[in-house]
Amino acid sequence: MIEKLVEIIVKRLKLRAANKTVIAVSKMPRDPVAIFMENGTVRLTQVNKHFLERILGGNRAESLTIWLETAAEYGVTIELELYDNGEPWLDYKMLSQLVYPVFTSAGERLFHPSSEVICYSDSALIPSGSTLCKFKKQLITPLANEYLTKNNIAVRERQ
Assess whether 100 and 127 both reside in one domain.
Answer: no
| Rounded Cα distance, 109 and 106, in Å | 9
Assess whether 60 and 80 both reside in one domain.
Answer: yes
Residue 67: CB atoms within 10 A of its CB come to 18
Domain tally for the chain?
A: 2
Assess whether 112 and 97 both reside in one domain.
Answer: no
**How many residues in the chain?**
159
Do residues 65 and 59 touch, judged by C-beta distance below 8 A? Answer: yes
Note down the domain range covering 141. 108-159
Last residue of a domain, one of 106, 128, 143: 106
Instruction: Summarize pLDDT for 81-95 with one digit per residue, the tens.
Output: 999 888 788 888 888
Assess whether 94 and 129 both reside in one domain.
Answer: no
Q: Which has the higher per-residue pLDDT, 89 or 153?
A: 153
pLDDT surpassing 90 at residue 35: yes
Assess whether 47 and 61 both reside in one domain.
Answer: yes
Instruction: Summarize pLDDT for 134-146 with one digit per residue, the tens.
Output: 999 999 999 999 9
Last residue of a domain, one of 70, 86, 106: 106
Assess whether 101 and 149 both reside in one domain.
Answer: no
| Rounded Cα distance, 77 and 6, in Å | 24
pLDDT surpassing 90 at residue 78: yes
| Rounded Cα distance, 69 and 99, in Å | 12
Assess whether 114 and 100 both reside in one domain.
Answer: no
Assess whether 50 and 127 both reside in one domain.
Answer: no
| Rounded Cα distance, 135 and 113, in Å | 10
Residue 46: CB atoms within 10 A of its CB come to 16
Last residue of a domain, one of 64, 87, 106: 106
Assess whether 97 and 63 both reside in one domain.
Answer: yes
The 3-state secondary structure of the chain reads CHHHHHHHHHHHHHHHHHCEEEEEHHHCCCCCHHHHHHCCEEEEEEECHHHHHHHHHCCCCCHHHHHHHHHHHCCCEEEEEECCCCCCCCCHHHHHHCCCCEECCCCCEEECCCCCEECHHHHCCCCCCCEEEEECCCEECHHHHHHHHHCCCEEEEEC
